[in-house]
Structure 1
């Protein structure tokens, strides 16, 4: 409620694990480590937000801060359209100068995130001519849907792999005579026979890039590859709305420098920017271009997030809390 610069603190309450996942409970492995779903992505970061604000309240600093906390409940699997799902976050950040995201970053406490690649999903449907397998490659029948799908994926690899900050990954593929695919859940089924040319393929994956321009160019090239279909096959590619990128900026670098100084002054050593290739998409990116200074990856550290081995390094909890608290006090002061 203070009159200083408006600061947005961002967390999320959901995890990547579905209700039917067997990984559902928190387990303390020893005094310094704990394993559980979302323990670092990002329940630990949420705890740091609350702990830092409680400490500042006890010290009498909280009343001087102009802070708003936003914790979404669908970061890992948001509804559509995404822009609508993040209206509350964008509204909370109106007139804000600073945004801090409490994700775990790459798990290294000496790293902060000043840039994140955006991500979107793609889906490709391929149709071919079903016929007896003995007639495959015949001029009036063609190679079938599975060979066409293989051509598309291999062309993606040949033409797009290796570009800096750009990655693409086919996560699911189903092919055969009949295909039933639910892209929302990533589940489906397929059936076919070895003596029948496959007539249908469904596949989906993701695409990640550092800038909107890089996304635009990659999508154009992927569409061109899909259009160049083999005879008697046809492919169609669609892209989801996706998460926007958080491109590097001078303001983000400046905020990292302030966080780095706070860490050094606390005796925790330097903090440098991690490569955006090691930082996945996150909610802070929706504030890119709207908030001048953004820093993410200041949450609880650990390893193996998004896997059943997700483990927190509990020794980083007090360190990350102190770093956040000191930074917030300094940010409440007149602009440095």
Structure 2
């Protein structure tokens, strides 16, 4: 397969350039659907059946498996959306320099989409049948927390033995065996407006009430336990000389262990239901949607297969935990043996400096194909 992949290197890079130069931020439905259309053609040429799961507001999702597949045991998950606004691809299109490729979403995770296509291509063209043992879900809203694709992923993961998640490998090449889970909460405070110069005593400040809550919420962070609570956005008030009638906060929560979920939710609810300023009312909505991906015996067994595949290819595979969450948290919570970070190597995710190590595109494509085959034998 290595020789075949080497012969396809320029073809792979050309396809990568093509999809990187299409804006596909999570809210750019037209761009995501353009990419999904290109992928659909590629998969169908390989004999795969592509189901398009249509969405009205978000991009469409794809569910893919080979026409000869019978109860595939492996689910492969990737996403087509990025975090970048419309116009980014035109402003800084795909480029290559000094062994690296740059452009919006090049590593998170458009290079992984190319990796997947060509891993299956090489398997088929070299007579390996493992491609018949996979079901693929490519979603359009992972960067938003997979709100419309969550149930789709979980449905397709039923009865699967293995989940291979194609987020990028870490900058040092490590794959991911543990991720923090998390969710978001929105806190809304209602007070009473009054003129701050003429009759401030008649007002009840929603901003002051929220300020007390923000401090208490931030204090729930415990880095040693892998818990972080971050009030990242606050809004409120109408004018400097008016006691604020309304205020709100958006709260991001991250956890490392499933057992942390309920105690943390209770603490958040207690803070939000405690009144500090008389005459104000508070409402909180939200939940912890992604269960942490914790390293388990199943993970260790799958990791062993991947390390063995790497060894056969001359690659030393290491693993790590990471603070961000992904769709790996969904399959892991269902008890499916899950490994993430199986995409190519890169770094500076979600930034203008985001990059792909070009040599890793071929290496990780070969690794993915080898792992699929090993798990299918």
Q: TM-score range by the shorter chain?
A: 0.7 to 0.9
Deviations along 1:230-255, whole A, 9 cap, x unmatched? 12222221115633332321101211
Change (3 A) 1:332 1:132: same
Work out the CA distance in 2 between the residues paired with 1:90 and 1:256.
22
- State yes or no: 1:128 paired with 2:216: no
1:164 aligns with 2:225: yes
Q: Which piece of structure 1 moves more, 321-330 or 289-298?
A: 289-298
Which of 67, 76, 101 matches 1:34? Answer: 101
From 215, 240, 245, the counterpart of 1:154: 215
Instruction: Give the secondary-structure state (helix, strand or coil) at the position aligned to 2:223.
Output: coil
Give the Cα separation in 2 of the matches to 1:207 and 1:315. Answer: 36
| Range moving further from structure 2, 7-16 or 237-246 | 237-246
Q: How many Å separate the matches in 2 of 1:267 and 1:260?
A: 10
Moved more, 232-241 or 21-30: 21-30
1:2–1:63: 8 Å Cα contact kept in structure 2?
no
SS at 2:225 equivalent: coil
1:244 pairs, out of 280, 291, 311, with: 291
Shift of 1:299: 0.4
Distance 1:21 1:205, change over 3 A: farther
- Cα–Cα, structure 1 residues 63 and 176, in superposed 2: closer, same or farther, change >3 Å? closer
Q: Distance between the aligned counterparts of 1:24 and 1:325, measured in 2?
A: 35
- Paired with 1:106 and 1:23, the residues of 2 have a C-alpha distance of 27
In the other structure, the counterpart of 1:96 is 160
Structure 1 residue runs without a partner (length 5+): 178-191
1:6 to 54, 73, 78: 73
Where structure 2 has 5 or more consecutive residues not aligned to the other structure, the ranges are 1-67
Decide whether aligned partners of structure 1 residues 201 and 321 sit closer, same or farther in structure 2, where only a CA change above 3 A counts: same
Does residue 196 (structure 1) correspond to residue 242 (structure 2)? The answer is yes
Kindly indicate whether the alpha-carbon contact (under 8 Å) linking 1:65 and 1:329 is maintained by their aligned counterparts in 2.
Answer: no
Q: Secondary structure at the match of 2:277?
A: coil
1:63/1:214 CA distance change after superposition, 3 Å: closer
Deviations 1:206-259 (A, max 9, x none): 112233431221111011111122122222211156333323211012111221
Normalization by structure 2: what TM-score? 0.74
CA apart distance, 1:116: 1.8
The 2-side partners of 1:91 and 1:242 are apart by 16
Per the alignment, in what secondary structure is the counterpart of residue 8 of structure 1? strand
* Counterparts in 2 of 1:59 and 1:163: CA distance versus 1, 3 Å: same
The match for 1:298 among 323, 332, 342 is 342
Instruction: Determine if contact 1:165/1:276 at 8 Å carries over to the other structure.
Output: no
SS at match of 1:275: strand
The number of residue pairs the alignment matches comes to 309
- With over 3 angstroms needed to count, the CA separation of the structure-2 counterparts of 1:262 and 1:137, relative to structure 1, is farther
Contact in 1 for aligned 2:178/2:295 (Cα 8 Å): yes
Retained in 2: the 8 A contact 1:125–1:201?
yes
**For residues 283 and 261 of structure 2, what CA distance do their matches in structure 1 show?**
18
Q: 1:207 to 1:47 in 2, by over 3 A?
A: same
SS in 2 for 1:294: strand
The reply on whether 1:210 has 2:248 as its aligned counterpart is: no
| 2:327 aligned residue | 283
In structure 1, what is the Cα distance between the partners aligned to 2:200 and 2:220?
Answer: 25
